[in-house]
């Protein structure tokens, strides 16, 4: 059964989306952890674990770009669905797919050509011959699987936000289970060691990729076609802006590891010389790598819970339901607080148990440093969980700037300077671990401030909505009668936006492309068939189709809406369909050609040089469509109660003017449907 994102209980929705998402995130994190566990028990031991820690940042970079596009397109997809903009929803997924393919190819080439520089950047030292060779072998093989890894992980969020979190979970689980099964076979049975772990990993990634791609044949709320995959500059910018927090969150992990690894290389032996404790370089590299991956498991759970709320928050933000947005955020933060507290107890009480999962027979120095690392480095895990959650929640709300600031605050602004300063002053790889707790405290304070600001913004929207409701309680005909405002408009005049703003200002429903869903549901049309007909209105200038059955069905939907509630209806000959009803206010919106060109280029992606020709073509087809079904002239103002040049007032003020007219108690305006 499909859950209603607008009405269903929040806890039920969170469970529906978050549980599969959490499982998917944990399983995704297990790709590298499983490798490290088996490598730790192999002949490579600590050297192998240190090697995977050196390569790990590059895989995180790959994941970062996957999430940049994947989470960004998924967020835009949900926001577009909430705003009832199906075309934009389709483009967000299609453009995202193309960007994922491009980025995966680029990173694969970079990884293969610049392998030496990459290893050096993340703490690889050719003088540590055994460790360096393991890292080199592991990186080369991992690079061959990057396209499958990036595309598979990037599509996961879109599948989840399309209402199929279980499918997204299965896609990830199949790959991870494959990796778990194949790791011991390649590492031990085939005696391939670190190379075997890398091969097992990319086989799992290929399986995840295949399952994810197959979802496009059964998507629920989007359609991939030539139009949706054609790169749109504005769509791509929005995807990147919404996904930038996910990129920064992952890149921040890379920065942490890179800085920590290089500081270990610089001060590891100095610590041994000054205190007599033989930590050296390999032990801290191996242990910090393990800690980061254990940390990654906890954060994966937190991110999974937070991403589970993304479709709920995105949809309700798009629909303007701020009360449900705040309720969802509160529920997610409390859940992640509990997760952080449990993790804190485990790290503080059972560090030895955790470290021994990654190999036995470790020496005294190894276990001692591991104890310090888990208890100190991860000591602020409760705050970290809340910080990561708040960053994603801000992203889901469309506040990409605040999300980016918070993502940068913990790991870059606060952590990096503090670890460098502490390490340079103490010359100790143990003392520098305290920098993580310092960063957690400062970033948490930042997160609270940013989230409070966003809540204040939502409260303002809620108050404005309440004011609108109060306006409607002043004896307006909207309460006593079901008033319908129909809007006919020239292409590029801003009519859709005026209609939507007008509906918001009046506190009534807005219907444009929503009529597609209602028609498909009520009269058995294939939704994609109707959508394709609407796509043709832009791409070929054929406004819908002279399909009498489709027009008749849409007309019945419009008549039904008019009987049920006050609303705004855009296009679809609604003024003619409702010509015999009282309390129908018929509006025609137009503008000059320069303004139409600017809007069409900016919002609809038309080529500037061809825009005028395309606009004229589309408006001509709209006129033909109108004439076919009404036997009237679309351009004749006699059909309408009011015709407005949107350019004279602008979209916002035009909507405000119409609101004031509709709210008027003058019976001459709405009492008998006569002309204004």
Tens of pLDDT, residue by residue over 496-520, are 889 999 988 888 889 988 888 888 7
| pLDDT score of 675 | 39
Residue 258 lies in a domain: yes
Q: Is residue 484 domain-shared with residue 608, that is, in the same domain?
A: yes
Q: Which of 237-241, 353-357, 401-405, 482-486 has the lowest mean pLDDT?
A: 401-405
* Residue 246: other Cβ atoms inside 10 A: 30
| pLDDT score of 528 | 66
Q: How would you class 434 by CB atoms within 10 Å of its CB: exposed for 0-12, middle for 13-18, buried for 19 or more?
A: middle
Query: CA dist 112 to 65, 101, 119, 128, 144, Å?
Result: 17, 17, 11, 21, 8
Which stretches of 397-526 are DSSP H helices?
400-408, 416-426, 435-472, 477-480, 495-506, 514-523
Is the Cβ–Cβ distance between 573 and 665 less than 8 Å? Answer: no
Exposure class string for 576-613: b at 16+ Cβ within 10 A, else e? bbbeeeebbbbbbbbbeeebbbebbbeebbbeeeebbe
State how far Cα 470 lies from the chain centre. Answer: 35
Q: Is residue 77 domain-shared with residue 224, that is, in the same domain?
A: yes
State how far Cα 661 lies from the chain centre. Answer: 40
- Residue 539's pLDDT band (cuts 50, 70, 90): very low
Beta 642-645 vs 584-590: how paired, if at all?
parallel
Residue 20 lies in a domain: yes
pLDDT tens digits for 218-271? 898 888 989 999 999 999 999 998 888 778 778 877 888 888 888 887 887 664
pLDDT tens digits for 451-483? 998 888 777 655 555 454 444 444 444 545 678
| pLDDT score of 671 | 45
- pLDDT(665) > 60: no
Residue 255 lies in a domain: yes
Of residues 300 and 62, more confidence is placed in 62
Q: Is residue 404 domain-shared with residue 482, that is, in the same domain?
A: no
Place of tokens 């031990």: 188
Long-range contacts of 477-480 (CB under 8 A, 24+ apart): 477/583, 477/665, 477/670, 477/671, 478/506, 478/508, 478/566, 478/662, 478/663
Residue 675 lies in a domain: no
| Gap between the Cα atoms of 228 and 438, Å rounded | 46
* Residue 4: other Cβ atoms inside 10 A: 10
Q: Is residue 441 domain-shared with residue 493, that is, in the same domain?
A: no
Q: Is residue 429 domain-shared with residue 567, that is, in the same domain?
A: no
| pLDDT score of 649 | 85
- pLDDT(390) > 60: yes
Question: Quick one: average pLDDT of 411-431?
Answer: 90
Residue 443 lies in a domain: yes
Q: Is residue 296 domain-shared with residue 226, that is, in the same domain?
A: yes
- Residue 541's pLDDT band (cuts 50, 70, 90): very low
The number of CA neighbours under 13 Å toward the Cβ of 316 is 24
Question: Quick one: average pLDDT of 346-357?
Answer: 90
Of residues 271 and 175, more confidence is placed in 175
- pLDDT(28) > 90: no
CA angle 260, 261, 266 (to 5 degrees): 95
- pLDDT(402) > 60: yes
Of residues 7 and 584, more confidence is placed in 584
**Which one of 396, 428, 462 terminates a domain?**
462
Which of 49-63, 168-182, 197-211, 240-254 has the highest mean predicted lDDT (pLDDT)? 197-211
* Residue closest to 170 by CA, chosen among 135, 218, 237: 218
Structural domain containing residue 544: 473-670
- Residue 547's pLDDT band (cuts 50, 70, 90): low
Q: Is residue 358 domain-shared with residue 406, that is, in the same domain?
A: yes
The number of CA neighbours under 13 Å toward the Cβ of 490 is 26
- Residue 552's pLDDT band (cuts 50, 70, 90): confident
Q: How would you class 521 by CB atoms within 10 Å of its CB: exposed for 0-12, middle for 13-18, buried for 19 or more?
A: exposed
Q: Is residue 570 domain-shared with residue 427, that is, in the same domain?
A: no
**Which one of 434, 462, 490 terminates a domain?**
462
| Gap between the Cα atoms of 662 and 477, Å rounded | 8
Residue 178 lies in a domain: yes
| pLDDT score of 280 | 76
Tokens of 261: 């690894």
Please give the share of the chain, as a percent, with pLDDT higher than 70. 87
Q: Is residue 99 domain-shared with residue 169, that is, in the same domain?
A: yes
Residue 641 lies in a domain: yes
**Which one of 462, 496, 524 terminates a domain?**
462
Residue 676 lies in a domain: no
Q: Is residue 228 domain-shared with residue 367, that is, in the same domain?
A: yes
Q: Is residue 269 domain-shared with residue 327, that is, in the same domain?
A: yes
Residues belonging to the chain: 676
Tokens of 275: 């205190």
Q: Is residue 134 domain-shared with residue 109, that is, in the same domain?
A: yes
Look over the chain and give the mean of its residue pLDDT values, rounded to a whole number: 83
CATH code at position 613? 3.40.50.300
* Residue closest to 523 by CA, chosen among 560, 486, 490: 560
How many domains does the chain divide into? Answer: 2
């Amino acid at each position: 059964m499909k859950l209603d994102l607008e009405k269903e209980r929040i806890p039920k929705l969170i469970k529906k989306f978050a549980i599969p998402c959490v499982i998917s995130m944990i399983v995704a994190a297990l790709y590298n952890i499983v490798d490290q566990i088996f490598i730790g028990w192999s002949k490579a031991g600590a050297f192998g674990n240190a090697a995977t820690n050196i390569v790990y940042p590059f895989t995180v970079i790959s994941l970062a770009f996957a999430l940049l596009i994947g989470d960004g397109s998924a967020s835009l997809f949900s926001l577009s669905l909430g705003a009832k903009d199906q075309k934009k929803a389709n483009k967000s997924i299609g453009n995202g797919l193309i960007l994922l393919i491009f980025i995966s190819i680029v990173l694969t080439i970079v990884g293969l050509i610049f392998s030496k520089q990459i290893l050096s950047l993340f703490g690889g030292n050719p003088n540590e011959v055994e460790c360096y060779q393991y890292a080199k072998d592991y990186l080369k093989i991992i690079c061959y699987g990057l396209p499958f890894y990036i595309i598979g992980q990037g599509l996961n969020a879109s599948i989840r936000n399309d209402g199929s979190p279980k499918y997204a979970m299965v896609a990830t689980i199949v790959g991870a289970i494959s990796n778990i099964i194949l790791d011991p076979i390649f590492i031990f049975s085939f005696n391939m060691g670190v190379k075997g772990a890398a091969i097992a990993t990319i086989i799992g990634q290929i399986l995840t990729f295949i399952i994810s791609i197959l979802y496009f044949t059964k998507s629920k709320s989007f359609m991939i076609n030539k139009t949706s995959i054609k790169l749109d500059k504005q769509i791509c910018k929005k995807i990147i802006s919404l996904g930038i927090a996910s990129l920064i969150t992952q890149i921040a992990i890379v920065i942490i590891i890179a800085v920590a690894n290089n500081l270990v290389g610089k001060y590891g032996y100095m610590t041994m010389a000054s205190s007599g404790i033989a930590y050296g370089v390999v032990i801290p590299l191996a242990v910090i790598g393990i800690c980061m991956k254990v940390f990654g498991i906890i954060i994966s759970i937190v991110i999974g819970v937070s991403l589970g709320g993304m479709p709920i928050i995105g949809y309700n933000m798009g629909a303007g339901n701020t009360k449900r947005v705040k309720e969802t955020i509160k529920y997610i933060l409390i859940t992640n607080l509990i997760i952080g507290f449990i993790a804190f107890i485990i790290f503080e009480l059972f560090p030895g148990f955790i470290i021994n999962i990654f190999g036995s027979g470790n020496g005294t120095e190894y276990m001692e440093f591991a104890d310090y690392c888990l208890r100190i480095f991860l000591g602020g895990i409760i705050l970290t969980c809340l910080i990561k959650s708040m960053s994603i929640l801000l992203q889901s709300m469309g506040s990409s700037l605040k999300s980016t600031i918070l993502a940068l605050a913990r790991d870059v602004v606060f952590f990096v300077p503090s670890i460098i300063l502490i390490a340079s002053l103490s010359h100790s790889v143990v003392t520098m671990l305290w920098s993580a707790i310092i960063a957690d405290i400062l970033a948490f304070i930042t997160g609270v401030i940013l989230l409070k600001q966003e809540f204040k913004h939502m409260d303002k929207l809620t108050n404005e909505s309440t004011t609108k409701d109060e306006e409607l309680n002043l004896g307006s005909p909207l309460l006593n009668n079901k008033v319908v405002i129909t809007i006919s408009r020239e292409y590029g005049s801003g009519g859709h936006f005026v209609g939507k703003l007008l509906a918001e200002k009046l506190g009534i429903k807005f219907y444009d492309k929503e009529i597609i869903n209602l028609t498909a549901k009520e009269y058995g049309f294939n939704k994609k068939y109707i959508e394709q007909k609407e796509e043709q209105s832009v791409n070929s200038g054929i406004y819908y189709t002279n399909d009498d059955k489709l027009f008749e069905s849409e007309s019945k939907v419009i008549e039904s809406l008019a009987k049920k509630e006050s609303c705004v209806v855009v296009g679809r000959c609604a003024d003619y369909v409702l010509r015999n009803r009282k309390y129908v206010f018929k509006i025609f919106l137009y503008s000059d050609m320069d303004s139409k060109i600017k809007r069409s280029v900016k919002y609809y992606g038309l080529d500037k040089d061809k825009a005028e020709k395309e606009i004229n073509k589309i408006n001509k087809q709209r006129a033909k469509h109108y004439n076919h079904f009404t036997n009237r002239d679309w351009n004749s103002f006699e059909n309408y109660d009011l015709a407005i040049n949107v350019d004279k007032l602008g979209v916002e003020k035009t909507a405000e003017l119409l609101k004031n007219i509709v709210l008027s108690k003058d019976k001459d305006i709405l009492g008998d449907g006569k002309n204004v």
